[in-house]
Every structure is written in structure tokens, then in C-alpha cells.
Amino acid sequence: MLTAERHFIILQVLKEQGNATVHELSEATGASISTIRRDLVQLEELDKLKRVHGGATQYRTKWTEPSLNEKSSQNLTEKTSIATYAASLIEDGDCIFLDAGTTTQKVAEQLRGKNLIAVTNGYQVVETLLANGITTYLIGGKLKPNTGAMIGGKALEGISTYRFDKSFIGINGIHESFGYTTADPEEAIMKKTAIDLSKESYIVADHSKIGETAFSKVAELHECTIITSHFTEPNLDKISEQTTVEVVKL
């Protein structure tokens, strides 16, 4: 198979799945692991994809982001472990904010039996909270279909009436110099406001967000504790110098 053909297949797999391991790409192309690794290096240099530990993810511009359907099938084991740890920090009597997102939805799945109040701007999070018997407040506003988030002036007006013991925030990028970033400026404002209204704030994000930057600044690293999965990124030391990083076991 020609190099151009392998590259086409690799990019098609990433387009369909969002991410893939070198073994999956080897099977898809019939090429050796070493050949696939060389292909990934070449495609990353062309800004066609991003290499991660053991594979690659689809390249996106700083202002685009995957849909809920795409995110719901990515890094599920990591997200579940992160959510389980995050939920263990929530105590009876807490008032919490759960950001829109697939990882925060998994936090909601872990809350059954807890006596607390939850506020969210994520429409997909609400059903999970209610199913687990949690007293829930949904922030109104403009619904963003791609991420399931309530955003805009009405949403900011709504969230400003609350105060939280803990907030759990999803994010697109965690960078040692640029802090926490996300693709949409309106979502960035919502996340920042939730952080400012909380006694304690936690970023819940799998390892693929480490070292990444997106279009809109949310907050500085020191403003939140990071809960993430195991990764071998060189950025870890620099990030850990600026805030607490809790790396969960899978």
C-alpha cells in the first residue's frame, strides 16, 4: 500500500472514531506498528492529527470541538475513573456545580444516595442527576447543541444567584503557560464564573487535554485542582508546580 493510501485510511479512522491506537491503525492499513508510528509523525508535522501515548487523535482547530456523541465514546475508562474520584470528594450537604460535558455526566452517575444540591448548565447531566434522586437546578439560557451547554447572558444571570461548595469543570486544554482553555468564549465565561463562585474548583479531564490549548481562556492553573488520568506528558512537572494534580488509577 502506498504511503498516501495509508495516510488516507488513518485520517478516515480518526474522523470516524475521534482517536485510535497504533494497533487499530495497523490492522486498518495492514502496515507494521513501526510504519504506522512513522506515518503518525509525518501527519502530525502536517497538522493532520495529534499524537498521544499509544496512538493519535483527530486534529482540530482551536475554536472547534467534538460533539457530545463523539466525546461520549472517547476515553471511557479514564473518564469513569476520574468521575469516581471526583464523586468521592462530594459530601452530604454540599451544593455543587456540574459543568456540561461527558466527564461531568459520569460524575453525576456516581452520586446516587448522596444528600446534596446540584446545579448544572448541561442538559444531558440533568437526566442523570434526577435519576439518582439528586435535588437539581438547571441554569437556563441559550442551548448549544454541540456540547449540550446552556450559555449566554441568561445563563450567566442564572448562575450568578448561586454559591457553590465545589464545582467540577470540563475543559479542552490544560497548558503550563496558557492555563485552562476551551473552544467557545461564551462557555469560557460560564466556566470561569462557576469557578469564581465556588469554594473549591476541580478540572475533570482525561490525559488528552494535557498540553493542549483552545481558543478561549477560562482560568489560570492555580485556580483549580486537576483530576486526570495517567499520562506521560512532559508538561506534568511544570503543571504540578502551579497547582495540585490528582492522577487517578485506571
Confidence of residue 250 (pLDDT cuts 50, 70, 90): confident
- At 226, the amino acid letter reads I
Same domain, 90 and 179: yes
CB 179 within 8 A of CB 219: yes
Same domain, 105 and 218: yes
Q: Which of 60, 84, 100 is the last residue of a domain?
A: 60
CB 45 within 8 A of CB 126: no
For 99-150, the pLDDT digits (tens) are: 999 999 999 999 999 999 999 999 999 999 999 999 999 999 999 988 889 9
pLDDT, residue 14, reads 86
Same domain, 73 and 149: yes
Same domain, 106 and 219: yes
pLDDT, residue 77, reads 84
Same domain, 74 and 13: no
Phi-psi domain of 170 (left: phi exceeds 0; alpha: psi -120 through 50; beta: other): beta
* Torsion of Cα atoms, 212 then 75 then 250 then 248, to 10°: 30
Range of 220's domain? 69-247
Confidence of residue 85 (pLDDT cuts 50, 70, 90): very high
Residue 43: CATH number of its domain: 1.10.10.10
For 139-183, the pLDDT digits (tens) are: 999 999 888 899 999 999 999 999 999 999 999 999 999 999 999
- Kindly report the backbone phi and psi dihedral angles of residue 90, in degrees, each rounded to the nearest multiple of 5, phi listed first: -90, 125
